[in-house]
Amino acid sequence: MSIDYQERIPNNVNLADDRRLQRALEKWQPGYQQWWAELGPTESASTDVYLRTAVSVDPGGWANYGYVRMPEYRWGIFLSPPEQGRQVNFGAHKGKPAWQEVPGEYRAELRRLIVTQGDTEPASVEQQRHLGLTCPSLYDLRNLFQVNVEEGRHLWAMVYLLHAHFGRDGREEAEAMLERHSGDPDKPRILHAFNEATPDWLSFFMFTFFTDRDGKYQLASLAESGLDPLSRTCRFMLTEEAHHMFVGETGVQRVVQRACELMKEHRTDDVRRYGAIDLPTIQRYLNFHFSVSVDLFGQELSTNAANYFTMGLKGRFRETRIEDDHLLENGTYQVPEIRGDKVVFTEQSALTAVNERLRDDYIRDCQRGVDKWNRTIRDAGIDFELILPHRAFHRGIGTFADIKATPDGRIITEAEWDHHHADWLPTEDDKAHVVSLMKAVTEPGKMASWIAPPAKGINGQPREFEYVRFN
């Protein structure tokens, strides 16, 4: 399915056939562009960036690479191809044809899910807006901008659903997406992690590894939705998401690699002296970003989530590959709870535990990345291991929100927490050091002192390719 770039809003949904919808979206477009100019990447307006743009939604070969002046990026509406005869695959309507229109009785729930998803997309662009000024290389700057334009497009994806399926309230919600802002005391973004600052590139890499990965799991669950347009939109978004997590995984890996190289070369753990980031600091950043990201999965036991499932709106990760009845009326699932100073797992209704199940899928996926980073450390012959903290550590949502726990999951007193948290979360000193390293490196092929070069360039280009041209 190819994309029509002749239209004012590129799309593969035959927008031209629905004049009302087209006009409504064209009315929203200038507000979006103004938002991008004001709260998108700073000082990017006159740069030419080697970006990929979607030219089709077919698997394989959907991307075209070339220089784009950022504000001229063609944001549009791209849905994955329809699946013939698709059904609702779980919950009370299992076996019925998938819905092409929003079922009236589920309108409020669907709107809420779509708004919550949509709100995160521009939030992340806002969080990352100043990073371009301190890029460690042109390669990384290009990756940042690629992530930013695609998160902008993800907002378009949700705004399309709101405009196409929710009438007037949908249009109001689309406006509100441009009115809430990350960290705004009066009109913050909906989910906590999206109001945190992303002040430096280590935070950016951690964010794209841990928080974009929440995006992967939430989108995958929404891709199972009985509402077919939501499913198709999310399926295409997932293809873009893979690159964001690649940026995070390889970004952290390169910071780790650089620390290890300097540790070996100078026979010291104190690589800060050589303009790098030491492994214990990387661990504390990891602890922070993991813990705020696991919060994004909601409560361990959630009637909201159970309802979304039974209604057929939001499924489990790879729902159709799970071997059970897809109704979850009788199944159970292991859910953590606090007993004294310990965390124990007990059997709970699988239906109310779907958030926790998704969190488990997510944690396993995170661990795979951490294992890769540890391989880099081991290959350098260094005796240090990065560890994913326990899910009870530093939580703001759910069972563990009111207690304090160590990174290995022991429940402790407030006093113990006050005494130790500087060992576990980034300190002012850590942040000051990391920020002190953030100086723009813009000569093609050169890297900042604190990061190793990438294994290879983008789209077969050499590492010293001029990924961004300043005008």
From the CB of 229, what's the least distance to Fe ion, in Å? 17
Segment interacting with ligand BYC (CB under 6 A) among 35-43, 74-82, 166-174, 299-307: 299-307
| 218 near ligand BYC, judged by CB under 6 A | yes
Report how far residue 226's alpha carbon sits from residue 311's, in angstroms, rounded to the nearest whole number.
9
Segment interacting with ligand BYC (CB under 6 A) among 13-21, 82-90, 292-300, 320-328: 292-300
| 257 near ligand BYC, judged by CB under 6 A | no
3-state SS, residue 309: helix
3-state SS, residue 68: strand
String marking each residue 429-468 x if it binds ligand BYC according to CB under 6 A:
----------------------------------------
Report how far residue 78's alpha carbon sits from residue 234's, in angstroms, rounded to the nearest whole number.
10
- From Fe ion, ligand BYC, none, interface partner of 279 (C-beta below 5 to 8 A by class): none
Q: What b/e sequence results for 179-204 when a residue is b if at least 16 CB atoms lie within 10 Å of its CB, and e otherwise? A: ebbbeeeeebbbbebbbbebbbbbbb
User: 228 or 278, CB closer to ligand BYC?
Assistant: 228
| 212 near ligand BYC, judged by CB under 6 A | yes
| 116 near ligand BYC, judged by CB under 6 A | yes
Report how far residue 107's alpha carbon sits from residue 111's, in angstroms, rounded to the nearest whole number.
6
User: Would you state the structure tokens that stand for residue 435, as one six-digit string?
Assistant: 């920020």
Segment interacting with ligand BYC (CB under 6 A) among 8-16, 17-25, 44-52, 209-217: 209-217
Q: Are strands 468-469 and 342-349 parallel, antiparallel or unpaired?
A: unpaired
Helix or strand holding residue 109 (H, E):
helix 107-127
Q: Which of 47, 120, 148, 182 binds ligand BYC (CB under 6 A)?
A: 120
Count of residues engaged in binding ligand BYC, rule: CB under 6 A? 25
Q: Which residue is nearest to ligand BYC (CB)?
A: 298
From the CB of 153, what's the least distance to Fe ion, in Å? 8
User: 144 or 296, CB closer to ligand BYC?
Assistant: 296
| 281 near ligand BYC, judged by CB under 6 A | no
Helix or strand holding residue 343 (H, E):
strand 342-349
Return phi, psi of residue 97, to 5°. Answer: -60, 140
Report how far residue 334's alpha carbon sits from residue 349's, in angstroms, rounded to the nearest whole number.
9
3-state SS, residue 99: strand
| 279 near ligand BYC, judged by CB under 6 A | no
| 182 near ligand BYC, judged by CB under 6 A | no
| 192 near ligand BYC, judged by CB under 6 A | yes
Amino acid, single-letter form, for residue 347: E
From the CB of 244, what's the least distance to Fe ion, in Å? 4
Helices 107-127 and 138-165: crossing angle, nearest 10°? 160
- From Fe ion, ligand BYC, none, interface partner of 295 (C-beta below 5 to 8 A by class): ligand BYC
Match 């360039």 to its residue by tokens.
Answer: 457
| 299 near ligand BYC, judged by CB under 6 A | yes
What lies within 8 Å, CB to CB, of 131 at 6+ separation is 41, 144, 198, 200, 201, 204
| DSSP bridge partners of 227 | 99
Interacting residue ranges for ligand BYC, rule: CB under 6 A = 113, 116-117, 120-121, 124, 151, 191-192, 211-212, 214-215, 218, 295-299, 302, 304-305, 314, 355, 397
